[in-house]
Amino acid sequence: MYMKRNLILAGVVVSVLIFAVAASGCITTGTPKEKVLVVGTSADFPPFEYKNPKTGNITGFDMDLIKMVAKKIGYDKVEIKDMSFDSLIPALQTGKVDVVIAGMTITPKREQVVDFSIPYWKADQAVVVRKGSGIKISSPEDLKGKTIGVETGTTGALYVKDKLGNSVTMKEYSTYVAALQALLNGQVNVLVIDSPVANMFIHKYPSLEIAYVIQTNEHYGIAVRKGNKELLNKINSALKEIMNSPEWNKLVAKYFGG
Ligand code: GLN
């Protein structure tokens, strides 16, 4: 009697186990692959993208924003690829990344090779100097004769090249960290960098200050491969939704402090 019951029980246990194994097999083979959005950035542009000094993880305003966008348009996760700023557009063109978000200014020249989303932020170019350097800038003319540090491939570099030309000495650095170091060391007189990032830097380095702001009236956008309309339209509607929701204010407060 007992034997029989035990046998039945054992039978039930075994079939449950077989079923569980089969079911889990089903789950692993039957579920579609995770949808991953591959994102290119250049993580030395606080507060938009930077490495958390404690964890080394790439974080920032742009990173949170692209995660929110990706979720809204049906991606399971984002994969961040960090590279120098001037490698971003080539990486997008060759398919190494699906989108670029890097405090990147929408410019007519870039629009010839990639497509941009609607703008999500505004910036100008700040002239950063060492406090006590005695450098007074009250118009771009005052930059003449100066040694100016810029990051390669940025709108700051472009401005210096196009507007100041041979009247200044321009030194290019592949990262802002290197350009900043050059200013701190006195290898350059000034830095020309995006105003929101300059504001972060002067908080972190009290020996620096903003001497002047050149009103370049720039707008940041998310870049996709030229002609990738489908992705661009989705990104734009997600951006519009996010920018009109309380989530946006929370995001701004998180990285720009209220
Ligand atoms: N906004 C500037 C540009 O697009 C700088 C961006 C950056 O260095 N991440 O060139």
Atom of ligand 1 nearest to the CA of 102: 9
What is the percentage of the chain residues whose pLDDT exceeds 70? Answer: 88
**CB–CB of 172/192 below 8 Å?**
no
Amino acid at 235: I
Indicate whether this model's pTM tops 0.75.
yes
| Domains of the chain, start order | 36-120+221-256 (3.40.190.10), 123-219 (3.40.190.10)
Q: Which atom of ligand 1 is nearest to the CA of 48?
A: 9
CA of 77 to the centre of ligand 1 (A): 25
Which residues, at least 6 apart from 137, have a Cβ–Cβ distance to it below 8 Å? 127, 129, 143, 190, 211, 212
* Ligand 1 pocket test target in 63, 82, 110, 151 with most atoms within 8 Å of CB: 151
pLDDT band at 257; cut points 50, 70, 90: confident
Ligand 1 contacts CB of residue 42 (under 6 A): yes
Residue nearest to atom 8 of ligand 1 (CA): 154
Q: Tell me if 102 CB under 6 Å of ligand 1.
A: yes
Distance, CA of 48 to CA of 103 (rounded, Å):
6
Residue 3 sits at φ, ψ, to 5 deg, of: -55, -45
Q: pLDDT tens digit string along 2-53?
A: 555 565 656 555 555 555 555 544 444 556 789 999 999 999 999 999 999 9
Task: Compute the mean pLDDT over every residue in the chain, rounded to the nearest whole number.
Answer: 91
Nearest atom (ligand 1) to Cα of 110: 4
